[in-house]
Amino acid sequence: MLKIVTLFLVFMAVLAMFGRLRLPGIGKRSDRKGSLPKPRLCPDCGRYNLRGGPCRHCTDKQD
């Protein structure tokens, strides 16, 4: 009986290792801010433009 428990623990450890290697962001589905692939930067002002449309900072501050 003890062997089965040991094998089960080893199996879970291996699964956890593979899970970390292949899916590092698993278990944090609710945190969508951290799962963004690459934050877009405005070429004009250099600030973050996550929506991808016209830069909000540039359109607000038109001289």
Q: Which residues of this chain interact with Zn ion, rule CB under 5 A?
A: 42, 44-45, 55, 57-58
**CA–CA gap between residue 17 and residue 30 (Å, rounded):** 22
CB neighbours of residue 42 within 10 Å: 14
Residue (28 or 57) nearer to Zn ion, CB: 57
Q: What minimum distance in Å lies between the beta carbon of 50 and Zn ion?
A: 12
Q: What minimum distance in Å lies between the beta carbon of 8 and Zn ion?
A: 55
Q: What minimum distance in Å lies between the beta carbon of 23 and Zn ion?
A: 34
